[in-house]
């Protein structure tokens, strides 16, 4: 059962809250039952494919655990996010799961939260703003995604000593953008590949923007051997552009991240070469487990993939190409 609630925050945006009402649970939040847990889920928006999947995964996992979750979309307003966090305790929430619009505001959010734990998702704050079993991150190690992309391309192209590379990055300053891009560069270098980055620019997770900027690259007259994209949506935009400009995507591997339905279908069709599954279901479930545990004064000890310092939960990425894509469709 879901209910729609309209919320107005003092002169800010009018937002919609979708509340998932869980059934009663026999256990306490600290022992794995979520019957007493009330979770505030803050997202900047859920229009992006992966963020939408992640919000659904959190709602589903909370409901299955017997917890209540309220989803608020902020439209990217940091002021609204801070106000929601500051008022959460007075509204009876036991924990906050939050996709910050700007990860650098985490210290501000931590202070505003008071005694409530925050589980950050999809945009990782710096380590100095995470606190064991209090302000943590649930996601995947972004560096692993870029590493897997680079390793795939090197193997597919026969471990070349040099490559002309395009990288389409996501949102500037986003932890995924930074981690995935840096890992591609690092992995190519560590494997003896002298890469020339013939084009590297932000496409903001957008297929249209990636296709447009591929058109700008084409005007430079340079050649390209591989294209790395920080997500599948941009990779699909690149494929569309390659068809327009006559580039052979069967010889120039295009890599994405997320293993979205469209991305997997493109791989099945022989277009995109590779993607990396970022498990929205796994990340959402881990975030909820952490919210239930920390909201009742517990720890993330025993939650799968929790780091030893109790600051992060890293759900592993999984490589997806033509050989196994049928398992992910």
* Residue 182 belongs to a domain: yes
The phi and psi torsions of 152 (rounded to 5 degrees) equal: -60, -50
Number of structural domains in the chain = 2
Pair (48, 196) in one structural domain: no
How would you write 219-239 as a 3-class SS string?
CCCCCCCEEEECCHHHHHHHH
Tokens of 320: 């997806």
Pair (95, 127) in one structural domain: yes
Pair (223, 311) in one structural domain: no
CB neighbour list of residue 206: distance below 8 Å, 6 or more residues apart: 233, 234, 237
Pair (29, 109) in one structural domain: yes
Pair (201, 150) in one structural domain: yes
* Residue 329 belongs to a domain: no
Distances (CA, A) of 118 to 125, 133, 196: 11, 9, 41
- In order along its 329 residues, the chain shows pLDDT tens digits of 333 333 444 333 334 444 443 333 333 333 346 778 999 999 999 988 889 999 999 999 999 999 999 999 999 999 999 999 999 999 999 999 999 999 999 999 999 999 999 999 999 999 999 999 999 999 999 999 999 999 999 999 999 999 999 999 999 999 999 999 999 999 999 999 999 999 999 999 999 999 999 999 999 999 999 999 999 999 999 999 999 999 999 999 999 999 999 999 999 999 999 999 989 999 999 999 999 999 999 999 999 999 999 999 999 999 999 999 999 98
Bridge partner residues of 68 (DSSP): 38
Pair (107, 157) in one structural domain: no
DSSP-derived pairing of the beta strands 95-98 and 68-73: unpaired
* Residue 327 belongs to a domain: no
Query: Domain residues for 30?
Result: 2-139+279-315
Q: How far apart are CA 70 and CA 42, in angstroms?
A: 8
* Residue 99 belongs to a domain: yes
Other Cβ atoms less than 10 A from the Cβ of 77: the count is 17
* Residue 51 belongs to a domain: yes
Tokens of 213: 């900027």
Tokens of 93: 């929430």
- Residue 293: strand, helix, or coil: helix
Bridge partner residues of 168 (DSSP): 201, 229
* Residue 194 belongs to a domain: yes
* Residue 223 belongs to a domain: yes
Pair (124, 82) in one structural domain: yes
Pair (74, 152) in one structural domain: no
Q: What is the DSSP string of 244-263?
A: HHT--TTTS-EE-SS--HHH
Pair (236, 273) in one structural domain: yes
Query: Domain holding 289: CATH number?
Result: 3.40.50.2300
Res 33: pLDDT: 60
Tokens of 12: 């800010």
* Residue 147 belongs to a domain: yes
Pair (131, 82) in one structural domain: yes
Pair (161, 256) in one structural domain: yes
Pair (37, 77) in one structural domain: yes
**Cβ–Cβ < 8 Å for 252, 227:** yes
């Amino acid at each position: 059962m879901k209910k729609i609630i309209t919320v107005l925050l003092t002169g800010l945006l009018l937002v919609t809250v979708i509340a998932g009402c869980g059934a009663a649970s026999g256990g306490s939040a600290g022992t794995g039952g979520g019957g007493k847990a009330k979770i505030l889920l803050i997202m900047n928006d859920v229009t992006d494919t992966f963020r939408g999947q992640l919000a659904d995964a959190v709602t589903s996992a909370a409901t299955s655990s017997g917890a209540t979750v309220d989803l608020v979309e902020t439209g990217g307003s940091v002021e609204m996010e801070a106000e929601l966090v500051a008022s959460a305790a007075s509204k009876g929430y036991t924990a906050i799961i939050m996709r910050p619009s700007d990860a650098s505001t985490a210290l501000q959010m931590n202070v505003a939260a008071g005694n409530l734990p925050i589980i950050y998702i999809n945009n990782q704050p710096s380590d100095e703003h995470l606190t064991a079993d209090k302000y943590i991150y649930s996601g995947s190690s972004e560096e692993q995604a870029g590493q897997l992309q680079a390793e795939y391309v090197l193997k597919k192209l026969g471990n070349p000593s040099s490559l002309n590379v395009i990288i389409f990055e996501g949102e500037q300053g986003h932890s995924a953008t930074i981690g995935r891009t840096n890992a591609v560069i690092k992995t190519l270098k560590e494997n003896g590949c002298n890469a020339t980055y013939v084009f590297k620019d932000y496409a903001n997770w957008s297929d249209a923007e990636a296709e447009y900027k591929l058109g700008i690259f084409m005007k430079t007259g340079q050649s390209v051997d591989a294209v790395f994209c920080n997500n599948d949506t941009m990779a699909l935009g690149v494929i569309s552009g390659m068809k327009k400009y006559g580039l052979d995507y069967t010889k120039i591997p295009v890599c994405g991240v997320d293993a979205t339905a469209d991305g997997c279908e493109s791989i099945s069709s022989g277009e995109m070469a590779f993607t990396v599954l970022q498990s929205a279901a796994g990340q959402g479930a881990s975030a909820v487990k952490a919210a239930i545990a920390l909201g009742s004064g517990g720890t993330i000890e025993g939650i799968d993939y929790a780091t030893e310092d109790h600051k992060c939960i890293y759900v592993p990425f999984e490589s997806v190409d033509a050989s196994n894509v049928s398992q992910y469709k």
